[in-house]
Amino acid sequence: MFASRLSLKVPSVLELFSNRLMKVGSICLIVGSALSLITPIYNFFVLTSSRLFAFDIWRLFTHAFCERNPILLIWSLWCLYQSSSVIEPTWGISEFLRYIIIVQVLSSLFIAFGFFLSYTLWTAYAFFFVKISGCPSVCAAVFVAIKQYLPDSVICAAPFGRIKSTHLPALAVLFSTTFAICGIVRAISVLQILFGIQVAWVYLRFFQAHDDGEPRGDSSDHFTWATLFPSKLQPLAAVLSSFIFDILVRLKLCRPIVRHIDMEDLNSVSIVLPGLSSKDTERRRQKALRDLTERLSRLQQAEGTNWLSMDDDGVPQTSSTVTSETSVHTATEEMKSEPHDPTNESEEVSVQKNVDVEKNPDRTVLEV
């Protein structure tokens, strides 16, 4: 089960070493960032297009831990903390490591190969020697995984609206682009985030394996490619994604989405969608629990204020009157349950008279 809410706080030193994943990942990131300050070590471990075909296999894995920018380092530690508390408990350590390795290696290879083509075709020397380092691709992949399972989870409330988990990939692109323009982070990190989002989405959408014989991937409507874009651009992105998907299906690079009909019982027909699995049920249950909690909190706040109600005769009553009537009725029932005592008859008559007066103030109550 994924956590029902995403925490925005920066993890403390103790939280960085709270479990095995955090301990190993934090040590590798911190030590790698410290060693990357030494230029010969940094040049030996980072990935560049000029060394793409030099068979330096270690660069595919070591470049992720060479991070010189403090902002990107803090972001990497925060994403590692979120993944260890939100994603890894559900997927397991092996599936999570497979996920981040695929995203990191493929996104870096795509960027390096693109720079190599730009050098080959247009002799762009500036791109040919660009150093690819750090793990912004993995951070973007963590955001995509959180978006997949908790799309409607509210992170915080802003003046322009509520920020949900489904907005995390787009926000990562927006902030990284802004910081790159201002010179706060390196420009290559924007490409790493873009490729990380795309590779992560393709893996989760089509190739991630599940237990209990469930189909691969996630074909839910909330996880389409168009949902990676802002709401204003989603219609255009949906048309473009459908066109590209049809081409890939014709080229047999992707499988068409097929609905399976299970007719084991002739009296009932159950339609099983490929993406409608236990994780979808759990996601809906988490959303229902959050909605129920919000409604209960609103009801509790409303009970603290005075409210007007109409009785059978149309006379308005305040909440204090209803409360007093309830307490008097409870006291009367308790007296009736006790053994009969003649001395209490006058008290019962007096209590009943007060109840009648409060219910009907215009009616005269006669004592017998």
β-bridge mates for residue 163, sequence order: 156
Per-residue pLDDT tens over the stretch 121-164 = 988 788 889 999 999 999 999 999 999 988 878 888 777 778 88
Residues 84 and 89: their CA atoms lie apart, in Å, by 7
Length reported for the chain? 368
Helices (H), the chain: 13-16, 20-35, 39-45, 59-62, 70-82, 88-91, 93-122, 125-128, 136-149, 168-181, 188-202, 234-250, 278-303, 319-337, 345-359
Name the pLDDT band for 355 (thresholds 50, 70, 90). very low
110 — pLDDT class (breaks 50, 70, 90): very high
Closest to 146 measured CA to CA, from 215, 96, 216: 96
Q: Is the pLDDT of residue 61 over 60?
A: yes
pLDDT band for position 185 (cuts 50, 70, 90): very high
Domain limits, CATH 1.20.1540.10, in the chain = 13-223+274-302
| Chain segment 248-306, per-residue pLDDT in tens | 888 877 777 665 555 554 455 455 454 445 566 666 677 777 778 777 877 777 766 54
Angstrom CA distances, 330 to 335, 336, 349, stand at 9, 10, 15
Q: Which pLDDT score is estimated for 31?
A: 95
Q: HSE on the CB side for 60, CA within 13 Å? A: 16
> Which single residue is written with the structure tokens 């924007």?
190
CA atoms within 13 A on the CB side of 66: 22
Determine the topology of domain 13-223+274-302 in CATH. Answer: Rhomboid-like fold (1.20.1540)
pLDDT higher than threshold 60 for residue 169: yes
Residue 264 has what pLDDT?
A: 56
pLDDT of residue 282: 67
Higher local confidence (pLDDT), 71 or 155 = 71
Would you state the torsion angle of the CA atoms of residues 8, 11, 12, 14, taken in this order, to the nearest 10 degrees?
140
**Residue range 76-102, pLDDT digits in tens:** 999 998 888 888 888 989 999 999 999
Confidence band, pLDDT 50/70/90 cuts, at residue 1: very low
Phi, psi of 257 (to 5 degrees): -80, 120
pLDDT at 75 over 80: yes
Beta bridge partners of 158: 161
Q: Write the burial class of residue 134 (CB in 10 Å: 0-12 exposed, 13-18 middle, 19+ buried).
A: buried
Query: Kind and range of the H or E element at 127?
Result: helix 125-128
